[in-house]
Amino acid sequence: MSPPVQPASPESVVPAVDAASPAVREFDDFYRGISALGADPATTIEQLRDGFSRWGDFGRDPERVDYVHVDAGGVPALWAVPEGAALDRVLVCSHGGGYACGSIYSHRKLYAHLARAVGCRALLVDYRLAPEHVHPAQVEDLVAVYRWLLEDQAIAAGRIALTGDSAGGALCLSPLLRARELGLPMPAAILPLSPWIELEALDPIHETNDRDLIGTRDVVISSAEVFLGPAGDPRDPLAAPIYADLHGFPPMYIQVGGCENFVADARTLARRAQEAGVEVRLDVYADMQHVFQLLAGAAPEADDAIARLAAWVRPRLGLA
């Protein structure tokens, strides 16, 4: 009997440009400063949040996008509405920041650029943050928003895609586990960016990779402790989707920077998705740091990533 045919790897490497743009170099310097701030034991959560509030300073505002605050099923959120956008298609966007930092404002430009490229609305979710609200508060908020779109806004599941970066990348996945338990339909697609889905930094990359400027093993462990609280389980699939059963999940497009430790999370997620029969694509951007897509409008590397995301998800939302 011949051996079973192994599926082709879903991974592609996007080569680096000849020289990183000035915006990329400034972004790297920002991460060095944040890393130094986080390494100081005297740093408070308020100081970290203030530092991460500059996350969105490196991109540029897209043209002709309006912003509207909304109560999305009891969860504060922000609509980004590009001119001429299809109003019956929605990107649900979850910002990164280790579940404790970042905001709809730090990530407004990124997801507005993506919404404009796709041609639909983006809904940036202002989910509750740790340590004031530990897991599973964040999952509950995303499920509430998803139900609100389906039931109150009458948006068909096949016209919704979930996207998010870092911790928000996990929030593309974990709410769908809960939605599946509740019998809710799956969305059209999910687009995790630099997803953080493993909370114990178990992969050897955390010991061998010296190019990641922010996602170090110490950062992963300390952030997980804040997110989970004292009683949390780092292997709960709702907290660490690396342990999730992905059968029945929608098509998935993952992007990650080649410098990141989270490239290990991305590769494991792609492999687990493929094993579960999920259509999956993984693009690794050489020499890029964590959530480099925040440079949208200011760096060609980020603009290329946004264009690829949009081209992939448009037909899945019926916008081809």
Domain annotation covers residue 52: yes
What are 117-134's pLDDT values in tens digits? Answer: 999 999 999 999 999 999
Mean pLDDT along residues 28-39: 94
Domain annotation covers residue 172: yes
What are 89-117's pLDDT values in tens digits? Answer: 999 999 999 999 999 999 999 999 999 99
| Catalytic residue selected from 107, 113, 135, 290 | 290
Find the domain containing 130 and state its range.
11-316
| Catalytic residue selected from 94, 103, 106, 166 | 166
When the pLDDT of each residue in the chain is averaged and rounded to a whole number, the result is 95
Annotation says 260 is catalytic? yes
Annotation says 290 is catalytic? yes
Annotation says 166 is catalytic? yes
What are 5-22's pLDDT values in tens digits? Answer: 446 778 888 987 666 788
Per-residue model confidence (pLDDT) at position 6: 47
Per-residue model confidence (pLDDT) at position 19: 65
Domain annotation covers residue 3: no
Q: Tell me, what CATH number does 83's domain have?
A: 3.40.50.1820
Per-residue model confidence (pLDDT) at position 7: 61
Domain annotation covers residue 2: no
Q: How many CB atoms neighbour CB 268 within 10 A?
A: 15
Per-residue model confidence (pLDDT) at position 3: 46
Give the whole-number percent of the chain exceeding pLDDT 90.
92
Residues 196, 167 contacting (CB under 8 angstroms): yes
174-181 helix and 137-147 helix, angle to the nearest 10 degrees = 60
From CA 7, how far away is CA 278, in angstroms rounded? Answer: 12
How many domains does the chain divide into? 1
What are the b/e assignments for 219-245, b being 16+ CB within 10 Å?
A: bbeebbbbbbeeebebebbbbbbbbbe
Domain annotation covers residue 4: no
Per-residue model confidence (pLDDT) at position 4: 47
Per-residue model confidence (pLDDT) at position 217: 94
Domain annotation covers residue 1: no
Domain annotation covers residue 140: yes
